[in-house]
């Protein structure tokens, strides 16, 4: 049995049955409202060394893994993957770094459960296919470990609630690793917003526009599983890359809260067109994709501000996350990065964002940008991992919490419900249970 077919079987059997979207239910009713709840992270203790179990050491997992090997205070005690080649590669990295050999968990797709039962781990970090994120995070917290997961943390509101409930039941952290929150321009914008340079933030635009046809049809890596979601999910199944940074600028869950969303998709053409160019006997030619090529959503916040969110990964186009943050005094727009500030920029003219780095470079980038170079997506993956370990070692709240993970991720389901219902509004759950009204905004993190 090839890796490919075993992965695909899993998708058919386990994920679709267990983790697939229950589109009718909002999840609000289903999640456990009763039972003891703790303040988020109440059981987090200051850790000298963060002992880590790592699940899924593929493309993105490998990047995190190598970062963790060189972040002070991080210690990888256990690793878990279904592919021998990935395990070997990881052990090789460990050996080269001169670190102790971690224990290996390679007995199939649920072996992470056995790993989570160890008593010498503080954190379970996973970078697995999307359907594993929730089960692994739940297993980690249930067994007393903090959880960190790649994006999206969950695919439905119900599963998002499960993460919130488990985090509040255990008092542990559940962090979605949204690396784009640590990208250089995004960090500068956050810094500018915190300093009031853009005024009252009224509107933002963001998205994930990335021609992934080659990746989705590759014979390895994400090609083994990512394309399959396009046969099952119509909506925006990858909302967090663009959304995370602007949600931080807009104080989502910390002074404001997503209220409702409307969503609309184009027909599905890109993947079908691509498949039609494969060899005549390629079985992928028979796959039927339902995901609209371009998905556009509008999000309203409780305070009335707006966000345009897009997903566009199946058509030929250059990369963009849009990255517009617009306030009453100025605006930042990405791709290319540019700034306009009233009374400072020349009349009606953009300035190159580069001009503003000397004044508004984010302190995290000043400190870690040079160190992280060459380690995954510029330095942002390194800074992201560094910040997580730093939070655990200093007993401070990680920059992103389980409420962020839940509210940024549940759009996967919500966008689909809206677009299947003539773009009617779909309400966000308030995962903070009203705490967004009193939670303090994220500061200039790391400063």
# binding residues, its own copies (CB under 8 A) = 46
Residue with tokens 């919500």: 414
Q: Is 276 exposed, middle or buried (0-12, 13-18, 19+ CB in 10 A)?
A: exposed
Rounded least distance, CB 263 to its own copies, Å: 8
Q: Measured between alpha carbons, how far is 139 from 214 in angstroms, rounded to an integer?
A: 33
Phi, psi of 175 (to 5 degrees): -110, 125
* Shortest Cβ 414–its own copies spacing (Å): 13
Is 171 a residue that touches its own copies (CB under 8 A)?
no
Site string for its own copies, 322-341 (x = CB under 8 A): ----xxxxxx----x---xx
Q: How far is the CB of 188 from its own copies (least distance, A)?
A: 18
For 3, 134, 266, 380, 408, the CA distances from 428, given in Å and listed in that order, are: 38, 19, 23, 29, 10
Q: Is 273 in the site for its own copies (CB under 8 A)?
A: yes
Backbone φ and ψ for 286, nearest 5 degrees, come out as: -90, -5
Report if residue 93 touches its own copies, rule: CB under 8 A. Answer: no
3-state secondary structure of 275: helix
Q: CB of residue 290 vs its own copies: minimum separation in angstroms?
A: 13
Nearer to its own copies, 249 or 262 (CB): 262
Nearest to 334 by CA among 208, 194, 151: 208
Interaction mask 344-363, its own copies, x per CB under 8 A: ----xxx-------------
* Nearer residue to its own copies within complex by CB, 93 or 217: 217
Nearer to its own copies, 82 or 201 (CB): 201
182 binds its own copies (CB under 8 A): no
Largest CA distance in the chain: 65
Partners of 103 in the β-ladder: 78
- Contact residue for its own copies among 14, 49, 266, 371 (CB under 8 A): 266
Q: Cα-flanking dihedrals φ and ψ of residue 262, to 5°?
A: -125, 150
Residues 274-313 that bind its own copies (CB under 8 A): 293-294, 296, 298, 300, 303-306, 308, 312
Return d(Cα 186, Cα 182) in angstroms, integer.
7
For every residue of 77-114, DSSP letters joined together read EEEE-S-HHHHHHHHHHHHHTTPPPPEEE-SSTTHHHH
Which of 130-138, 188-196, 401-409, 421-429 is the region at the interface with its own copies (rule: CB under 8 A)?
A: 421-429
Q: Considering the rule CB under 8 A, would residue 315 count as an interface residue with its own copies?
A: yes
Name the DSSP class of 319. Answer: -
Is position 9 an interface residue for its own copies (rule: CB under 8 A)? Answer: no
Decide if 160 contacts 409 (C-beta within 8 A): yes
Binding mask 107-146 for its own copies (x = CB under 8 A): ----------------------------------------
Check if the beta carbon of residue 422 is closer than 8 Å to that of residue 415: no
Which stretches of 276-362 are DSSP H helices? 357-360
Beta carbon of residue 329, minimum distance to its own copies (angstroms, whole number)? 7
CB atoms under 10 Å from CB of 85, counted, come to 12
Does residue 425 bind its own copies (CB under 8 A)?
Answer: yes
CB of 334 vs its own copies, minimal distance in Å:
13
Strand order in the sheet with 74-80: 103-105, 74-80, 50-55, 123-126, 146-149, 174-176
User: Minimum distance between the CB of residue 149 and its own copies, rounded to whole angstroms?
Assistant: 27
Least spacing, CB of residue 408 vs its own copies, in Å: 19
CB of 349 to its own copies, least distance (A): 6
Residue 217 in the binding site for its own copies (CB under 8 A)? no
Residues making contact with its own copies (CB under 8 A): 200, 202-203, 211, 260, 262, 264-267, 269-270, 273, 293-294, 296, 298, 300, 303-306, 308, 312, 315-319, 326-331, 336, 340-342, 348-350, 422-425
């Amino acid at each position: 049995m090839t890796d490919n077919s075993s992965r695909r079987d899993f998708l058919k059997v386990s994920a679709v049955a267990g983790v697939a979207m229950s589109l009718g239910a909002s999840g609000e009713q289903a999640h456990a409202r009763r039972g003891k709840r703790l303040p988020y992270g109440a059981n987090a203790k200051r850790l000298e060394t963060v002992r880590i179990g790592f699940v899924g050491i593929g493309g993105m997992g490998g990047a995190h893994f190598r970062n963790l090997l060189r972040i002070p205070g991080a210690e990888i005690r256990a690793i878990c993957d279904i592919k021998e080649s990935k395990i070997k590669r990881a052990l090789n990295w460990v050996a080269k770094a001169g670190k102790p050999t971690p224990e290996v968990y390679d007995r199939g797709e649920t072996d992470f459960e056995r790993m989570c039962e160890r008593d010498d781990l503080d954190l379970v970090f996973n970078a697995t296919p999307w359907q594993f994120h929730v089960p692994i995070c739940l297993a980690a917290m249930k067994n007393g470990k903090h959880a960190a997961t790649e994006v999206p943390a969950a695919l439905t509101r119900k599963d998002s609630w499960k993460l919130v409930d488990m985090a509040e039941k255990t008092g542990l952290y559940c962090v979605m690793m949204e690396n784009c929150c640590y990208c250089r321009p995004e960090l500068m914008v956050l810094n500018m917003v915190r300093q009031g340079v853009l005024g009252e933030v009224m509107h933002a635009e963001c998205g994930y526009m990335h021609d992934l046809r080659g990746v989705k049809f590759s014979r390895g890596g994400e090609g083994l599983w990512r394309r399959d979601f396009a046969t099952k999910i119509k909506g925006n199944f990858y909302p967090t890359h663009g959304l995370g940074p602007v949600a931080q600028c807009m104080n989502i869950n910390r002074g404001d809260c997503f209220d409702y969303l409307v969503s609309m998709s184009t027909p599905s053409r890109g993947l079908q067109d691509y498949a039609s160019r494969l060899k005549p006997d390629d079985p992928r030619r028979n796959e039927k994709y339902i995901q609209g090529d371009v998905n556009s959503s509008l999000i309203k916040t409780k305070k009335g501000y707006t966000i345009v969110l897009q997903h566009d990964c199946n058509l030929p186009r250059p990369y963009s996350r849009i990255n517009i943050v617009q306030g009453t005094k100025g605006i930042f727009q990405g791709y290319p990065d540019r700034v306009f500030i009233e009374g400072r920029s020349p009349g009606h003219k953009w300035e190159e964002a580069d001009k503003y780095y000397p004044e508004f470079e984010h302190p995290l980038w000043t400190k870690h940008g040079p160190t992280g170079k060459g380690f995954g997506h510029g330095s942002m993956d390194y800074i992201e991992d560094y910040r997580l370990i730093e939070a655990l070692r200093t007993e401070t709240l990680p920059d992103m919490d389980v409420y962020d993970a839940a509210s940024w991720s549940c759009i996967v389901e919500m966008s689909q419900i809206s677009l299947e219902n003539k773009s009617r509004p779909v309400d966000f759950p308030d995962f903070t249970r009203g705490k967004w009204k009193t939670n303090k905004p994220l500061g200039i993190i790391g400063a």
